[in-house]
Amino acid sequence: MKFSCATSDLLQALQLASRAIGSQQALPILGNILLEAEGKTCTVSATDLELSIITQFDASIENEGSITIPAKAILNFAQYNQDAEVLLETSEGTQLKCNSKHAKAVIAGEAASEYPTITSVDRQTALTLEAEPLLHALHLITFASAKTTLRPVLSGVLFQWEKEALTLVATDSYRLSEYKLQTKGAASDISCIIPAKILEELRAVLGASLRKSDGKEGGDGKDAGGKMKVPEISVYLSKQQIELHAGNVTLLSRLIDGKFPDYRQILPKEAKTEALFSTHELSTAVKRMHYFAKEMNNNVTFSIADGQAKLTTPQTQAGKDEAALTCEVKGESNKIALSSSYLLDFLGHINADNVLMKVIDSLHPAVFTLPDNPRYLHLIMPLRMQEE
Instruction: Determine the average pLDDT of the residues in 360-372.
Output: 97
pLDDT confidence tier of residue 388, bands split at 50, 70 and 90: low
Q: What is the pLDDT of residues 168-209, one digit of tens each?
A: 999 999 999 999 998 765 657 889 999 999 999 999 999 887
CATH number at residue 329: 3.10.150.10
Whether residue 4 contacts residue 85, with contact meaning beta carbons closer than 8 Å, is answered with yes
Residue 187 in any domain: the answer is yes
Instruction: Determine the average pLDDT of the residues in 47-74.
Output: 96
* Residue range of the domain that includes 81: 2-114
Sign of the dihedral through C-alpha 291, 174, 280, 272: negative
Same domain, 14 and 129: no
pLDDT exceeds 50 at position 223: no
pLDDT of the residue at 221: 43
3-state SS, residue 175: strand
Domains held by the chain: number: 3
Last residue of a domain, one of 222, 254, 286: 254
Distances (CA, A) of 166 to 51, 85, 183, 223, 251: 23, 44, 6, 21, 20
DSSP H/E element including 67: strand 65-70
pLDDT exceeds 70 at position 323: yes
- In whole numbers, what is the pLDDT of the chain averaged over residues? 92
Last residue of a domain, one of 114, 149, 180: 114
DSSP H/E element including 33: strand 32-38
Same domain, 292 and 336: yes
Same domain, 131 and 247: yes
Residue 198 in any domain: the answer is yes
User: What is the distance between the alpha carbons of residues 75 and 368, in angstroms, rounded to a whole number?
Assistant: 43
User: What is the distance between the alpha carbons of residues 227 and 212, in angstroms, rounded to a whole number?
Assistant: 9
Residue 261 in any domain: the answer is no
Instruction: Determine the average pLDDT of the residues in 216-233.
Output: 59
Same domain, 204 and 241: yes
Instruction: Determine the average pLDDT of the residues in 229-242.
Output: 91
Whether residue 143 contacts residue 177, with contact meaning beta carbons closer than 8 Å, is answered with yes
Residue 169 in any domain: the answer is yes
Same domain, 314 and 196: no
Same domain, 236 and 319: no
Residue 388 in any domain: the answer is no
pTM over 0.85: yes
Half-sphere exposure of 351 (CA within 13 A, CB side): 11
pLDDT exceeds 60 at position 341: yes
Same domain, 107 and 68: yes
